[in-house]
Amino acid sequence: MAAGEPGPLSGWQYWDLTNPDNSLAKGIVPAVHHRANSRTFLVGPNLGDRMLIWGIRDPLGPSQRIDRAELSISQFNGPVDGLQKNSMQLIRTTNIGTDPLRASCRNNTLSFSFNDGTDWGQAAGNISANRLLRIDLSAFPSVPHSGDTGYRERLFGLNNPIEDQPASGLATPGLWSTPTVAAIWS
C-alpha cells in the first residue's frame, strides 16, 4: 500500500505478541518500511527501562518467523500538561503516555518517537519533550543499547544550541506555544 501498488492485499493479524511476563503486549506500533528489509518490524510498548521490538521474517509467506528483542532505554519522565495561550485550562498531555508514537525503518535502521518530559535546567521544572531513538537492526535479534555504536537517542524540546540564544526558549509571548529543537543528530 505504501508503494502505491493496487490490491488485492493479503496480510496477517497478530493477537499473541507478549511482554516478557507473558502478558499481552499493548501500545505496539508497526514500522513504516521505506525500502525492502530482511524483516518487518513492530515496536512497543515502553516498559520503563526497556522497549520491545518484534522482527517478522517472511511475514506473508510459509516460512514466517517472529523474533522478539528487548532494547534497554533510559528512564522516561513522561509528558507534562501544558499551558495554552489566553487560558488557565491546561492542555492535557499526560494521558498520552510514553508508548511509541511512530516508527519507520530504512536499510535496517529503525527510528521511533515518543512523548516524554525533562527538566532543561529552567525554573519551570519538567516540561514536555519528544524523544527519538534510532537503532541499527542489521544483527537483529541482537540490538545495540545506549553507548553502543548503532544506537542514537535524542530529546527535543527547549532550544536549539546551534540557532537559539541560551536564554531563549519555551513560551515566548506571541510566538510558538511549543518549543523548538533541543538537540541534533550526531
116-130 pLDDT, tens per residue? 888 777 666 777 788
- Residue 7's CB: how many other CB atoms inside 10 A? 6
Nearest to 66 by CA among 87, 99, 39, 48: 39
Specify the pLDDT at position 140: 93
Taking the domains of the chain in order of start, what are their residue ranges?
A: 29-156
Q: How far apart (Å, rounded) are the C-alpha atoms in residues 104 and 112?
A: 6
Q: Name the average pLDDT for the chain.
A: 79
Of residues 27 and 8, more confidently modeled: 27
Q: Taking 90 as the threshold, does the pLDDT of residue 163 lie above it?
A: no
Confidence of residue 2 (pLDDT cuts 50, 70, 90): low
Q: How far apart (Å, rounded) are the C-alpha atoms in residues 132 and 110?
A: 10
Q: How far apart (Å, rounded) are the C-alpha atoms in residues 50 and 27?
A: 14
